[in-house]
Structure 1
């Protein structure tokens, strides 16, 4: 089973990852703050204990003497039942009294009124928090200096730090839960326009290509405009198809009706000669219908706004010679002189060979149908040009633009479809070629030029 990707899941993942990282940093910070707070609180107790002990130091019998009250150490023995140690040292660093010989102040120097020192020490197999106070007797006769060293185990500190951390964790977890809820609601709200767009597209009639009119944020508005551009292109394609259907039905209705009438009339005849005449007429009508259908398809494809063929290199000289070879038999049968004049050397341009062949074929066929007795296919360099010149009746200058419209005929001849020059014009526009209709030699006939903008290579 293929697991489909989800924009909701991706947004949630990419937003939760920073939140989790931030939450981890907050927990670490909370733990460090809890330890610092616990240390400050118990260091105050150490300070009070050393001060209480220092106040009890006296000079007696020519030596320092300490009568330690129980309250001085009880303040360090919390509910965690830490082990408490103390020691009194004289000015020369000799142990006077205490329940443990603790290390002294590493700062060195003579004992005096230096600031209280707090530090963690490893003593025996225990980790202790120690406070060292340097002081002196305040008696007016004796100013002996001494050092009070007090230490206790860290159970109380660890317990207080854990309690503070639990309180902070409850706060952090509450904030995290609130942040996740807000995040989920924010993502859902941010994706709501996308959901509206999806529902609007799903609810549309498949036959309608009207543009979407839905208020959306800027990012989704760009998607809406892109969809509307796609719908516009689809409308143009459908309009082109409908136009083709209408043109085809209009143009094919009359010859098909005539074909049916000819066949019905032939069935009423008993003479073989009449049948032959009817079959000849039916064949001619069928040929005309076939040619009309091909021209309609060509015109529809050329007028398709989404049709963007890939061009290739085409030699205009080879193209002109091939067109003459293709149409020479039909022109010769009608007594028409069809010839070709090509430029020296290769004359290549960017184009579609089959479209250019069709353009030449339509021009030759038009000239043949409308009374030309001489048709010349010609190529010229600088710029590369295709020409088809005939000596027929030609087209008045005032009507030449009209002749490029589909189904516009230049005479009352009903054999033509009025699509030949329209197809040539569509092919010229596809190739970016300039199409011009001029008088032939000596002002007779018609000269059609397809002038390419690309220089010959």
Structure 2
């Protein structure tokens, strides 16, 4: 099981990783600076040692002569016990005196004869730092050139480098620890409002949909506002559900109470004809109640925002012809002329056949119930439209939007449920179609149209 992502851990990672990289760069810089400082300090000692030796070089018995003072080499000696080497060479590069025959640099021009040079070299397996001073005698009778070479091993330099680095590391680690503590405290402080928001949501009564009232920073205030908008939508949904449940209970209570009263009345009678009349009335009431329950279930399913069916290509002409065949017998018994107007070529739109069949059935049933004598199911090609037109009493323009609300009836017909147009409206929304209620031909009756988006294929 994978662990969920932690915002705290993510912030900590993204803040501490750059700090660690910066700390590594600081340690590297501290080491470079410590080494540079140690080199400069010991190079100054090399410079002083070569100068002290050069000042003791004299001309005696037609040759260079050196009386080396102990202090000239002792200044290079440290507790690290480095090995110190020195040598004196004449102008022709011949060894004069010293404790080691040290190599010299490549021969340079005379213009650089008095320069002081430093270099690193490997000599007999030793890593040395060498200082080379080229000078000449200061005697007015003799201006002989000579070269002093002094070298020592690197133990002292490395020891001083490590000592300086340790001092800097203490400072760097202290700063890193302080920065880490500050980062952790800052992240916790920044996430505190989020924790308060989480606790406030967790502590709420699940039945409470009141808006959250909590002081939060701007970024979380936007989240709080989004949650409050969601709660407002949920309040509207719950209010609609409660109103729907109340209306449905009222609509179902009346026929059920009628069934119970008719059954009780029939039980008090001894005449078989009275029993038959009661059973017929109960059968008609039961059929209406069953139809109402089916319509309620359809409307509930259509009002579900999570219901997103896959739409398949359908031929509107085929749907219209099937609907007329299904309802023709019932309309014929009632003396109603039911017909269809559809092109021979297919008019294909994406949809659900059972929903569109239910929509046509509701529209035909409404027209039949409310006095229409002629009902036409029509299919238009461009744009694709499915419509039902009748010559009944119609609906006044001021009441047409109200007729789309569940349980709203335009008359006192006891057989009507007020759900037919509401179901058709839900089916239209499912298909992305536009529902229109207009006057019929010659300003008589009602024409209900479902205009589908796009072009028919």
TM over 0.5: yes
3-state SS in 1 of match to 2:375: strand
Partner of 1:8: 8
CA distance in structure 2 between the aligned counterparts of 1:280 and 1:293, rounded to whole angstroms: 20
Partner of 2:343: 343
Partner of 1:94: 94
8 Å Cα contact 1:372/1:390 also seen in 2: yes
8 Å Cα contact 1:349/1:384 also seen in 2: yes
CA distance in structure 1 between the aligned counterparts of 2:283 and 2:226, rounded to whole angstroms: 51
8 Å Cα contact 1:390/1:446 also seen in 2: yes
CA distance in structure 1 between the aligned counterparts of 2:129 and 2:382, rounded to whole angstroms: 100
Q: Give the superposition deviation at 1:270.
A: 1.7
CA distance in structure 1 between the aligned counterparts of 2:397 and 2:6, rounded to whole angstroms: 65
3-state SS in 1 of match to 2:356: helix
Partner of 2:205: 205
Q: Rate the CA distance shift 1:126–1:388 in 2: closer, same or farther, 3 A.
A: closer
8 Å Cα contact 2:435/2:448 also seen in 1: no
3-state SS in 1 of match to 2:139: coil
CA distance in structure 1 between the aligned counterparts of 2:429 and 2:273, rounded to whole angstroms: 49
CA distance in structure 2 between the aligned counterparts of 1:66 and 1:435, rounded to whole angstroms: 120
1:432-443 superposed matches below 5 A: 432-440=433-441
Q: Give the superposition deviation at 1:454.
A: 3.5
- Bigger CA drift: 116-125 or 330-339? 330-339
1:11-30 superposed matches below 5 A: 11-30=11-30
3-state SS in 1 of match to 2:185: helix
CA distance in structure 1 between the aligned counterparts of 2:375 and 2:267, rounded to whole angstroms: 41
Q: Give the superposition deviation at 1:383.
A: 3.4
Q: Does 1:234 align with 2:227?
A: no
Q: Give the superposition deviation at 1:312.
A: 3.3
Partner of 2:354: 354
1:126-141 superposed matches below 5 A: 126-141=126-141
Q: Rate the CA distance shift 1:336–1:48 in 2: closer, same or farther, 3 A.
A: same
Q: Give the superposition deviation at 1:40.
A: 0.9
Q: Rate the CA distance shift 1:382–1:82 in 2: closer, same or farther, 3 A.
A: closer
Q: Give the superposition deviation at 1:394.
A: 4.3
Q: Give the superposition deviation at 1:311.
A: 3.5
CA distance in structure 1 between the aligned counterparts of 2:406 and 2:4, rounded to whole angstroms: 51
Q: Give the superposition deviation at 1:53.
A: 1.2
CA distance in structure 2 between the aligned counterparts of 1:404 and 1:123, rounded to whole angstroms: 103
Partner of 2:79: 79
- Bigger CA drift: 115-124 or 20-29? 20-29
Q: Rate the CA distance shift 1:132–1:399 in 2: closer, same or farther, 3 A.
A: closer
Q: Give the superposition deviation at 1:150.
A: 1.2
8 Å Cα contact 2:389/2:448 also seen in 1: yes
Structural RMSD (CA) = 2.6
1:393-412 superposed matches below 5 A: 393-395=393-395, 400=400, 402-412=402-412
Partner of 2:103: 103
Partner of 1:291: 291
Partner of 1:250: 250
CA distance in structure 2 between the aligned counterparts of 1:195 and 1:249, rounded to whole angstroms: 43
Give the TM-score normalised by structure 2.
Answer: 0.90
Partner of 1:195: 195
CA distance in structure 2 between the aligned counterparts of 1:74 and 1:221, rounded to whole angstroms: 74
Q: Give the superposition deviation at 1:252.
A: 1.8
Partner of 2:149: 149
Q: Rate the CA distance shift 1:46–1:358 in 2: closer, same or farther, 3 A.
A: same
- Bigger CA drift: 194-203 or 391-400? 391-400
CA distance in structure 1 between the aligned counterparts of 2:402 and 2:99, rounded to whole angstroms: 122
8 Å Cα contact 2:437/2:446 also seen in 1: no
Q: Rate the CA distance shift 1:21–1:451 in 2: closer, same or farther, 3 A.
A: closer
Q: Give the superposition deviation at 1:301.
A: 4.2
CA distance in structure 2 between the aligned counterparts of 1:239 and 1:285, rounded to whole angstroms: 30
1:12-36 CA distance string (max 9 Å, x none): 2333322222222222222222121
Q: Give the superposition deviation at 1:221.
A: 4.2
Q: Rate the CA distance shift 1:125–1:432 in 2: closer, same or farther, 3 A.
A: same
8 Å Cα contact 2:400/2:437 also seen in 1: no
